[in-house]
Homo-oligomer: A and B are copies of this chain.
Amino acid sequence: MSLETNPILVNHTRGGIVESFHRGVVCVVNENGHIVTAVGDVQQVCYPRSALKLFQHIPLITSGAFDHFGFTLKELALMCGSHNGEEMHTQTARGILAKIGMGEEHLGCGAQTPTHKKDYVTLIKEGKEPGAIHNNCSGKHSGFLAWCVFHNQPTQNYLEAEHPLHIEIKRITALFHEMDEADLVSGVDGCSAPIFAMPVVNQAIAYKNLLFPEKFGDENLNRACALIREAVTTYPEMVAGTKRYCTDLMRVAKGKVIGKTGADGVYSMAIPQKGLGICIKIDDGRMGPQYNVAQQVLDNLDVLSNEEKQDLQGYLVNENKNFAGNVTGQTQVTDILQQFTLRA
């Protein structure tokens, strides 16, 4: 961790004052991987967490497993997603598992309660318990298992860092983040999968490389990236779900933005028309402020039409409501973000 102090990016107000606030980093890189805008310490090392999911399934496609099992773009979007555990998500995850002859009992991601109370209450009323299939990562894990089945690799230890699947994911992660494998910091993710930490700038570069994989000189990589871009923008409801930023953003932006959240305050984006890669990290790991920042960054970069911005306005400035539904204040970005412009 750097000793540099990142600026305050987001404020929560209550009554007449700022009650709490969030510091963080924003990095925008262009097609050449050069930084065109930065706020805070872009060398700060953090885990992309679920923002890595788009890269974690490149091996599934390049290996031929994706075609072999006849997976759909909708299924690929779920694999790349952090879903709410809604019926549409668990159904799609079960479909993936059925295609590879496995079941939810093989998922190692652990049980998670569905995001929305409504879905959780429905489960309980049906006398069921939240399971691994409801875990936001069940699509990712189903994709992991598919790679293992296709390669005749063991599935019982598919979450170990030394498993051939994760050795291949590590290689792809290093490639797209333009780092040496030896420099990747290893950790265990919320779903027990191996995860790697990289500087924020390299995470922005990786999202840019999702748009321009041609530099790696591998037709398979080009196709994998194209399929992933098409999957998440065509089926944004699989990437997150009801009332979620990733889903609402990609639905509204209609291909103009690829955006993915990661736990502990990460948001990464790729902007195809402008050839940009972006990574946002909130220092304190609070989930939420990174969406205000992302929405402001898209405003600054003039990516969305006024109508599209209007549809997403609630993510730019949130009204904070209490238990009785009364507005107690606002969540909004600070001036430092409203000012930034692209360097030439």
List residues of chain A with CB under 8 Å of any chain B CB.
Answer: 1, 5, 12, 14-23, 45-47, 108-113, 117, 121, 124-125, 135, 185-192, 195, 197, 264-265, 282-286, 322-326, 328-329
Q: How far is the CA of A326 from the CA of B20 in the complex (A)?
A: 31
Nearest Cβ distance between residue A64 and chain B, in whole angstroms? Answer: 30
Nearest Cβ distance between residue A6 and chain B, in whole angstroms? Answer: 10
Q: How far is the CA of A186 from the CA of B328 in the complex (A)?
A: 11
Q: How far is the CA of A323 from the CA of B110 in the complex (A)?
A: 5
Other-chain residue from B14, B186, B323, B329 in contact with A111 (beta carbon distance below 8 A): B323
Q: Which residues of B have CB within 8 Å of A47? A: 14-15, 17, 19
Q: Which residues of B have CB within 8 Å of A5? A: 5
Q: Are B188 and A322 in contact (CB under 8 A)?
A: yes
Q: How far is the CA of A192 from the CA of B320 in the complex (A)?
A: 12
Known: A190-B322, A191-B322, A286-B286. A19 touches B110 (CB 8 A): no
Give 10 new A-B contacts, CB below 8 A, not counting A17-B47, A113-B117, A192-B326. Answer: A14-B47, A15-B185, A17-B197, A20-B282, A20-B285, A109-B323, A109-B324, A188-B326, A190-B322, A192-B323
Nearest Cβ distance between residue A310 and chain B, in whole angstroms? Answer: 28
13 contacts between A and B (CB under 8 A): A5-B5, A12-B264, A14-B195, A15-B187, A15-B195, A17-B185, A17-B197, A19-B197, A20-B285, A110-B324, A112-B323, A124-B124, A192-B322
Q: How far is the CA of A21 from the CA of B282 in the complex (A)?
A: 10
Q: How far is the CA of A113 from the CA of B113 in the complex (A)?
A: 15
Q: Are B20 and A283 in contact (CB under 8 A)?
A: yes
Q: Which residues of B have CB within 8 Å of A121? A: 124
Q: Are B20 and A45 in contact (CB under 8 A)?
A: no
Residue of B nearest to A21 (CB): B283
With most chain B CB atoms within 10 A of its CB, the pick from A1, A16, A324 is: A324
